[in-house]
A = this chain, B = another copy of it.
Amino acid sequence: MGVARKTKSVSELLDVFGQTDNALSVVELVSKLDQHMNKTTVYRILDRLEDGGQLHSFIGKDGLKWYAKCQKCSSSHHTDLHPHFQCRDCGKSECLNVDISIPSVANHRIDSAELLLVGSCQDCLNQ
């Protein structure tokens, strides 16, 4: 389905994603939008935006959920297969513009893959 109605909450959330190229954790979004909407609403809108192909999500190294804008994703399937990077120092995550190859595995059907790289980002290396 995705988003059916352009509500104020939806545009506010999209605005936040429009202001950055980084991925955003749900926790961060909920607290950033705390004055504007309920956390349940944040969760539900993120769901719908992912459903509609505007956002994609991944699980960070600590098990928390992150969302980022889609570049080449479609609602049917996410063609924009790319790794994600998470900085162990500052915690920020980002999408990487790198192609990855998914190994084929005997006797398994692979539907999707998620590669998470953990290390130090540029900002944290320079200090």
Copies in the complex: 2
Among B59, B108, B109, which residue has its beta carbon within 8 angstroms of that of A59? B59
Once the chains are docked, how many angstroms separate the CA of A96 from the CA of B103? 10
- Report if A120 contacts B (CB, 8 A): yes
Q: Mark A78-120, 1 if CB is under 8 A from B, else 0.
A: 0000010100100000001010111101011111111111111
In this assembly, does A127 line the interface, its C-beta being within 8 Å of a C-beta of chain B? Answer: no
| A83: chain B residues within 8 A (beta carbon) | 103
A125 to B109 CA separation, bound complex (whole angstroms): 8
State the A residues within 8 Å of B (CB).
59, 61-65, 83, 85, 88, 96, 98, 100-103, 105, 107-122, 125
